[in-house]
């Protein structure tokens, strides 16, 4: 894989200033797969890697530059799950009260409640 474009950014928590997550946007090229774009969210409920559409790469890049998390969540709410839309703030995992939901004994999703009581899905 040849890295064509890589951009990373740390997102601080609006309560404590600790890192919510490190965002990495990656555009790579391989002979087998062609151009592959991915988004890595590190340090927020572990590390997660998403394959993203090539057509979304530049848009996401711009949104992360401008910290337009609301717009990012319009693309996919999991791409910026540390962000609370109601508060318009970012919170680290310390400040999301997490609840793991099981269905029939299997992991279903992680729900989070922000410091102001807004609840949403963080991960599934
Ligand atoms: Zn925090
Ligand atoms: Zn909130």
For 14-25, the pLDDT digits (tens) are 999 999 999 999
Task: Select from 16, 20, 10 the least CA-distant residue to 84.
Answer: 20
CA of residue 18 to ligand 1 center, whole Å: 6
Report pTM: 0.88
Note the ligand closest to the C-alpha atom of 112.
2
For 36-94, the pLDDT digits (tens) are: 999 999 999 889 999 999 999 999 999 999 999 999 999 998 899 999 999 999 999 99
Q: How many whole angstroms from 79 Cα to the centroid of ligand 2? A: 17
The residue ranges of every structural domain in the chain are 2-123
């Amino acid at each position: 894989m040849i890295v064509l474009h890589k951009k990373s950014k740390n997102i601080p928590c609006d309560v404590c200033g600790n890192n919510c997550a490190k965002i990495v946007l990656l555009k790579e090229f391989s002979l087998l797969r062609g151009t592959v774009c991915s988004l890595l969210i590190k340090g927020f409920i572990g590390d997660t890697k998403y394959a993203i559409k090539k057509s979304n790469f530049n848009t996401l890049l711009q949104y992360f530059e401008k910290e337009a998390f609301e717009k990012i969540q319009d693309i996919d709410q999991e791409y910026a799950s540390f962000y609370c839309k109601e508060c318009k703030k970012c919170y680290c995992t310390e400040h999301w009260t997490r609840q793991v939901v099981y269905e029939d004994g299997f992991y279903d999703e992680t729900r989070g409640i922000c410091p102001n009581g807004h609840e949403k899905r963080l991960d599934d």
